[in-house]
Structure 1
Amino acid sequence: MGQAETFSHDNEHGRENQMLTQDLWTEIRIMRKMGKSIKKISRELMISKNTVRKVLRSELYQPYRRERCKPGLLSEFMPFLIERAPQLDYNATSLFRELKKFGYAGGYTLVKEAVRPLRETHRQLEAATARFETPPGLQAQVDWGSKKIMLGGCLTRVCIFVMVLGFSRAIYVEFTLDEKLPTLIACHEHAFAWFGGIPEEILYDNPKTIVLDRATANARINPKFEDFCLYYGYTPRLCQPYRARTKGKVESGVKYVKRSFLAGQEFPSLASANEQGLVWIREVADQRIHGTTHEQPAARFRRENLRPLTNRPPYFLQVWQMRRVATDCLVSYTRCPGDMCIRL
């Protein structure tokens, strides 16, 4: 077991020091397992090679902690600083010079530390609205939606799995009754088969089936799902708050499915909904002129350049569950009682 280290980004790529999240820590290790070099990981994630090396040396994630500077002499000037900083492009030297004129008696370092989070917040808000385009074959985005529809004469809530290829905006849609891990994996495999290939990476919005302990510093990728990703040789990417690498494409895709395909529809069965959904993709979704690319997804898909599937068998997912055996030797699994033989 490697020694725990605390991690933070440095400024090799022009970025402010900030905490290295568990998501990014896990992402680095997955990329290394896939055979990517330290230099390539550094370039793709926009972090320094030293940070990558630190992550790879340690098998235990330890959040970076920085002692917060006490406002002290600067506290009474904070309202001015908050208002003035954007006007001076968050330049700590200029702000320090102006503060001295207003009677500030502290040092430059305190001003610099106070300006840092203001600058970072501004940068994050700008990045959150930036459009992020990807080259052919690089990225897909996955998300779930849900909607109540008439299914077999009954109003039923269905889950909507959507995968969108980042370059072409080609889409795959599947309707299910749950979002559990086996279902998620099956939907991925169906999408890969539909597209005839696999992108280099897939972006997710931290769903609980993929990310464990999401709200804690111990957040990590579900080992079972990580193994699935390694099996198919792609990198799972997790949405980071206020990053340009957002999942706006797939969110738009979910809304598009609801509005263009599901609205007012009734289906005799879930299988029928999925069959009609594939026809809709082929004849409508992939043939429309996309509002951002101004091309048909089907036309751009010819340049998508996905990695071929090869002839690998479907991924085998082992599911371990605990069940209590009743006195009559029956065990309930997925609410369906079945005989269980017990050897004494």
Structure 2
Amino acid sequence: MLYVKIHELRKRKFKVAQIAKELKVSRPTVYKYLDMTFDEAKAYTEQPLGKKRKLDPYKDWILAWLEEYPHLSSAQIHDWLLERYPDLVVGGSTVRTYVKDIREVYQIEKKVMIRQYEAVPEQPMGKQLQVDWGETKQKTTDNKEIKLYFIAFVLAHSRQKYMEWQARPFTTRDAIRCHEHAFQFYGGRTEEIVYDQDHLIAVSENAGQLLLTTEFQHYVNEREFNVHLCRKADPESKGMIENVVKYIKGNFADSRVFSDIEDWNSRALQWLQRTGNHQVHQTTKKRPAEVFLLEKQHLQPVSSLLSYESTHNQSITRNVSKDNTIRYKSNRYSVPLGTYQTMSENLVWIEVKDEDQKTLVIRREAKGEVIAEHLVSSEKGKLIQNRHHTRDRSKGVEELKQRLVSCFEDQGQAAAYLDEISQRYPRYRRDQFAIIYKIIQQYPAFIDTVLTKCMAEKLYHANDFRDIAHHLHTLRDEPIEEGQPFYTSSPKHSHIKASTRSLLAYTSILGGRA
């Protein structure tokens, strides 16, 4: 059919580019079919992809899938092939090219799945509040760049907006604090609050059964509002707040210069009053601030304080990585080895104390025992590590040392000798001890003598210990005096006698008298 369509358009004086655009094929494909006879094209379609290719044995499956589900992507085809043929080894680009060629040859156009939307009925006053998070990059007054994070709120009826910014990623505690500020801003809360499936709020949502994070669940229980979670990858179901996030990014934050977070939040509130809640809304054709005056009366009042005061605590949580570190302001800080557990929630509480120097305090529980403290680094990309948090690599060396000491008669002297070696060669003490241990195995009868010689001559190296033991072994039939220095050599040229002078010669040189 493709051959017939190409030649038919060619007869109608279509150019190659026009044919390719009309039939949604490449221009090389058009040229290829124009150069073929009908029989050649028929033979080619029976072996549709020309020369033998890796996926030809699976062509029937791929073709059947594309004909039944024209919207399938090459990545889905790849996955289905691997599901049916687990031993198949093929790259994504190979599948992509093969699927593209089959679509061209068999004229299977990829259909785009268009989702149909319906207008959402207007929410009654005081019924719903929508919440979402966003982030931007802003230029600073010193011409640098900073990443800022914000949380946005919008009342579904009046479109009255609220936002709050901070210079670090949000935690669940931050979200709770901002909810409290939003309730104060609005003068009450709604019956229902709509969220995306954000990790700060929810753990999972299974067919309507919500599992919220522990801290946020406590908050919901106290404030007694209903939580509505949108489906995953479905931002359109909370389009109001999505538009608010875009509005904040595109109107308030765009090209605005950042100085400090307090000033930024102050200007954000001014913008809400001046623009965000003052300008006429394009859907309602009303000013949000004016409609809000009516909706405010339908909000449910909230108490000024929560029953637990953790909202105002400056402690925040961090996840412990597999390497037993946490991240804080672009640096990694160590926690004791074993803090990370495979089958548990690896969450710790951190708090920054600002005394003479900022100190990062890490706890297992919010008010629990301190497990680590670090001075906060002003640099970035650094590992700040307490040496007590690392693996104790000295245990094996100490065990080896004690084993060596027990081999000598004078264990006190042996311990002192090995301690001296450890101090002189801290990086190589294991190697030093290994050499001595090998010598003890080879020459057990001489080790006490060797130790005495090494201590007397101050030879604190395993190679010296080895050399002396080897020398004693070779001279085991010759007695060695205890006080005799080990490194002695027979004088060479003993037949040569040095000339001597009289005492008068030396005294005259020194200026003395005889």
User: Shorter-chain TM-score: which interval?
Assistant: 0.5 to 0.7
In structure 1, what is the equivalent of residue 127 of structure 2? 138
Give distance in 2, aligned partners of 1:238 and 1:175. 23
Give distance in 2, aligned partners of 1:225 and 1:136. 25
State whether structure 2 residue 268 is matched by structure 1 residue 246.
no
Give distance in 2, aligned partners of 1:320 and 1:81. 46
Cα offset, 1:227, TM superposition: 1.3
Task: Summarize deviations over 1:116-147 as a string: whole Å, max 9, x none.
Answer: xxxxxx9x943x44334311000010001110
For the Cα contact (< 8 Å) 2:151–2:163, is it kept in 1?
yes
In structure 1, what is the equivalent of residue 151 of structure 2? 161
Unaligned regions of 5+ residues in structure 1, if any?
A: 1-75, 83-121
State whether structure 2 residue 252 is matched by structure 1 residue 261.
yes
In structure 2, what is the equivalent of residue 225 of structure 1? 216
Correspondence list, 1:323-334, <5 A: 324=335, 333=350
- SS in structure 1 at match of 2:237: coil
Give distance in 2, aligned partners of 1:81 and 1:173. 44
Cα offset, 1:320, TM superposition: 7.6
**Structure 1 counterpart of 2:301, one-letter code:** P
In structure 1, what is the equivalent of residue 284 of structure 2? 293
Cα offset, 1:168, TM superposition: 0.3
- The verdict on how the C-alpha distance between 1:314 and 1:143 changes in structure 2, with shifts beyond 3 A counting, is farther
Give distance in 2, aligned partners of 1:341 and 1:228. 26
Give distance in 1, aligned partners of 2:262 and 2:292. 26
For the Cα contact (< 8 Å) 1:139–1:166, is it kept in 2?
yes
State whether structure 2 residue 261 is matched by structure 1 residue 270.
yes
Cα offset, 1:337, TM superposition: 4.1
**Structure 2 counterpart of 1:220, one-letter code:** L
- SS in structure 2 at match of 1:140: strand
RMSD, aligned α-carbons: 4.0
- The verdict on how the C-alpha distance between 1:81 and 1:207 changes in structure 2, with shifts beyond 3 A counting, is closer
- The verdict on how the C-alpha distance between 1:297 and 1:158 changes in structure 2, with shifts beyond 3 A counting, is same
% of aligned pairs identical? 27
**Structure 2 counterpart of 1:265, one-letter code:** R
In structure 1, what is the equivalent of residue 227 of structure 2? 236
In structure 2, what is the equivalent of residue 3 of structure 1? none
In structure 2, what is the equivalent of residue 172 of structure 1? 162
In structure 1, what is the equivalent of residue 175 of structure 2? 184
Give distance in 1, aligned partners of 2:308 and 2:115. 39
The structure whose RCO (Cα within 8 Å, separation 6+) is larger is 1
- SS in structure 2 at match of 1:197: coil
- The verdict on how the C-alpha distance between 1:130 and 1:149 changes in structure 2, with shifts beyond 3 A counting, is same
Count of matched residue pairs: 223
For the Cα contact (< 8 Å) 1:149–1:265, is it kept in 2?
yes
Correspondence list, 1:190-209, <5 A: 190-209=181-200
Tell me the TM-score normalised to structure 2 length: 0.38
- SS in structure 2 at match of 1:246: helix
For the Cα contact (< 8 Å) 1:206–1:238, is it kept in 2?
yes
Give distance in 2, aligned partners of 1:183 and 1:241. 23
State whether structure 2 residue 130 is matched by structure 1 residue 147.
no
Give distance in 1, aligned partners of 2:194 and 2:122. 13
Tell me the TM-score normalised to structure 1 length: 0.55
- SS in structure 1 at match of 2:309: coil
For the Cα contact (< 8 Å) 1:161–1:173, is it kept in 2?
yes
Give distance in 2, aligned partners of 1:244 and 1:130. 15
Residue 306 of structure 1 is aligned with which of 276, 282, 299? 299
- The verdict on how the C-alpha distance between 1:167 and 1:218 changes in structure 2, with shifts beyond 3 A counting, is closer
Give distance in 2, aligned partners of 1:238 and 1:131. 16
- The verdict on how the C-alpha distance between 1:272 and 1:341 changes in structure 2, with shifts beyond 3 A counting, is closer
Give distance in 2, aligned partners of 1:194 and 1:167. 16
Give distance in 1, aligned partners of 2:175 and 2:266. 18
Cα offset, 1:172, TM superposition: 0.2
Cα offset, 1:311, TM superposition: 3.6
Cα offset, 1:150, TM superposition: 2.3
Give distance in 2, aligned partners of 1:175 and 1:244. 22
Cα offset, 1:205, TM superposition: 0.5
Correspondence list, 1:113-132, <5 A: 125-126=115-116, 128-132=117-121
Give distance in 1, aligned partners of 2:186 and 2:208. 36
Give distance in 1, aligned partners of 2:303 and 2:361. 39
Task: Summarize deviations over 1:14-45 as a string: whole Å, max 9, x none.
Answer: xxxxxxxxxxxxxxxxxxxxxxxxxxxxxxxx
Give distance in 2, aligned partners of 1:337 and 1:251. 36
- SS in structure 1 at match of 2:279: coil
- The verdict on how the C-alpha distance between 1:228 and 1:143 changes in structure 2, with shifts beyond 3 A counting, is same
Task: Summarize deviations over 1:38-93 as a string: whole Å, max 9, x none.
Answer: xxxxxxxxxxxxxxxxxxxxxxxxxxxxxxxxxxxxxx9xx8999xxxxxxxxxxx
Unaligned regions of 5+ residues in structure 2, if any?
A: 1-63, 71-112, 321-333, 338-347, 353-358, 363-368, 372-514
- The verdict on how the C-alpha distance between 1:297 and 1:337 changes in structure 2, with shifts beyond 3 A counting, is closer
Cα offset, 1:286, TM superposition: 1.1
Name the larger-Rg structure: 2
- The verdict on how the C-alpha distance between 1:135 and 1:338 changes in structure 2, with shifts beyond 3 A counting, is closer
For the Cα contact (< 8 Å) 1:146–1:158, is it kept in 2?
yes
